[in-house]
């Protein structure tokens, strides 16, 4: 089992749906939602939340800094 568990919060309204966070996630946690935000973008969300390890890769690559990452020791 992973030593760390993570979770991300995507600022849905500032996300531009570029998808680079989806591509950068090593655990395939993220996906672009079928719904759109106020600007018409398919925003990023945790499709497989349980798989997140809190590695921050998604946050690091996001050009619009929409992602906040949390990480805790797995209990």
Phi, psi of 32 (to 5 degrees): -90, 130
Instruction: Give the nearer residue to other proteins in terms of CB position, either 25 or 34.
Output: 25
Give the C-alpha separation, 59 to 65, whole Å.
7
Long-range contacts of 29-38 (CB under 8 A, 24+ apart): 29/58, 30/58, 37/12, 37/13, 38/13
Instruction: Give the nearer residue to other proteins in terms of CB position, either 33 or 54.
Output: 54
Q: How far is the CB of 58 from ligand SF4 (least distance, A)?
A: 3
Q: How far is the CB of 67 from other proteins (least distance, A)?
A: 7
State the residues that interact with other proteins by CB under 8 A. Answer: 5-7, 9, 14, 16-20, 22-24, 41, 49, 54-57, 59-65, 67-72, 74-75
């Amino acid at each position: 089992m992973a030593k760390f568990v993570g979770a991300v919060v995507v600022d849905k309204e500032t996300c531009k749906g570029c998808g680079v966070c989806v591509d950068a996630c090593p655990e395939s946690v993220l996906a672009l939602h079928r719904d759109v935000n106020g600007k018409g973008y398919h925003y990023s969300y945790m499709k497989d939340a349980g798989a997140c390890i809190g590695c921050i890769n998604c946050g690091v690559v996001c050009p619009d800094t929409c992602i906040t990452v949390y990480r805790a020791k797995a209990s």
